Structure formats: C-alpha cells, structure tokens
C-alpha cells in the first residue's frame, strides 16, 4: 500500500471520528481537533499491543498490520513534516513521546519503534472512543504486553487520552497547534498571501498538508462572534 492510499485511509478515519466528536461532544460550541495527533497516539498504543487489542486498534486505524502502520507513520514524519520550502511555505513541527511509570521498563522492541518510527522521546494518557467501537485498549481486558518488560504488563490499560487543540486566524495568517496527552504537537503557518473571509455564519473547516492531502486539523464554528 503506497503512502497516498494510506493517507486516504487515515483521512477516512479522521473524518469519521471527527464527525463523531463534533456531533456529540462539541455540538454546542466552536471546536477544533487534530485527528492526526490522536491517530499517532493510537499508533503508539498499537505498537505495544497484541491479540484482540491490536486487531481492534488496526481495524479502527484501517491498517492491515503494525508494520504497515509503522511504515506509513515513518513516511509521514519524513514527508508531511519536512521543513517548509525556501520560498516561505508552511512549516510543521512534530513531536511526541511515551511516558511510563518509573517502576516499568519499555521492551526494547517497543522502544525501537518509538525512537525510530515516531522519532519520539521515551519518557500516561479522557478521550474515550467506545462510541466508535474502540474498547479493548481502555478496558482491563486489553493486551498491551508488548509495551513493557514486566509481568505486570498484563494489567496495563489506557485509562484516558487527553487532547487539546487551538487555532488562531489574524491579519498575519493562521497558527494552529495540537497535543494529545502531551504527546503530539503540530504547528503550521500559512503562506503570506491574504484572502478575505467573512465569518458571519456557522461553518466547518480543516487544515491539510497540500502535497499529500493529509488532514491535520478539523473544526467547526457555530458562533462566529466567539473568540475562543
């Protein structure tokens, strides 16, 4: 599967759960989220999972295997998050990490994926997705034993995932950032060309990486008079 097909799958995932969030959790206020930020967190959890838990995560992420998703993520880091052009194109910053209890040590195989695929720092994450069919990682019955080198790995589960995004549009352009469990951050600046946009009615918006079409942010404005 090439990167464009993988991006198409991930955009489908992004639109699916963004719709769920915007219609259920954020249906009364202006909201923005970064699907990619959340997908990366789930990819990291998948890298430390096996059995039915891994199957459920891969199904949610529309990926056939951990290797396939890891390969896609590695390509994404090098292609989508490459520095902006010399002509002053948008620049995206990408950072993530894994935090574990001090009494546990990461498995070398998991740490290798964290370090080499996600370019993450090896250093605990309420974004419940049961309404979308992703249950096992958040239950006491999930299998995250590929994450840590300890028998207590059988008792690991994801208690929660926190996600926060913001977007600011002013005369100088657009600035957007997102973090999931303090794991992922994205920041982009638009080109200097300015367009007039009259926000006098509710609207849906997204920010995507133009070369690949990868969706980075999705949000809606229900009340344009609100500043936050």
For residue range 119-173, list pLDDT tens digits in order. Answer: 776 653 333 444 555 655 555 666 777 776 766 666 666 666 655 665 655 556 5
Helices (H), the chain: 3-24, 35-47, 51-60, 66-79, 108-112
71 pLDDT band, cuts 50/70/90, is: confident
Please name the CATH architecture into which domain 3-221 falls: 2-Layer Sandwich (3.30)
For the chain, which residues make up each domain, given as ranges?
Answer: 3-221
What is the pLDDT at residue 70?
Answer: 84
Please report, rounded to a whole number, the percentage of residues in the chain having pLDDT higher than 70: 54
What is the pLDDT at residue 181?
Answer: 42
Whether this model's pTM surpasses 0.85: no
118 pLDDT band, cuts 50/70/90, is: confident
């Amino acid at each position: 599967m090439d990167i464009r097909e993988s991006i198409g799958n991930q955009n489908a995932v992004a639109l699916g759960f963004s719709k769920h969030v915007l219609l259920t959790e954020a249906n009364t206020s202006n909201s923005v989220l970064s699907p990619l930020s959340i997908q990366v967190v789930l990819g990291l959890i998948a890298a430390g999972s096996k059995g039915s838990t891994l199957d459920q995560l891969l199904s949610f992420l529309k990926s056939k295997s951990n290797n396939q998703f890891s390969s896609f993520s590695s390509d994404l880091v090098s292609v989508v998050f490459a520095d902006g052009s010399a002509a002053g194109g948008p620049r995206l910053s990408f950072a993530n990490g894994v935090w574990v209890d001090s009494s546990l040590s990461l498995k070398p195989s998991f740490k290798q994926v964290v370090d080499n695929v996600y370019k993450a720092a090896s250093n605990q994450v309420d974004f419940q997705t049961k309404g979308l069919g992703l249950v096992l990682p958040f239950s006491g019955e999930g299998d995250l034993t590929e994450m840590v080198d300890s028998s207590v790995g059988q008792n690991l589960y994801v208690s929660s995932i926190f996600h926060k995004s913001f977007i600011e549009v002013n005369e100088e352009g657009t600035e957007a950032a997102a973090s999931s469990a303090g794991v992922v951050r994205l920041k982009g600046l638009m080109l200097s060309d300015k367009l007039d946009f009259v926000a006098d009615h509710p609207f849906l918006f997204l920010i995507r990486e133009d070369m690949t079409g990868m969706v980075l942010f999705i949000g809606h404005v229900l009340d344009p008079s609100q500043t936050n």
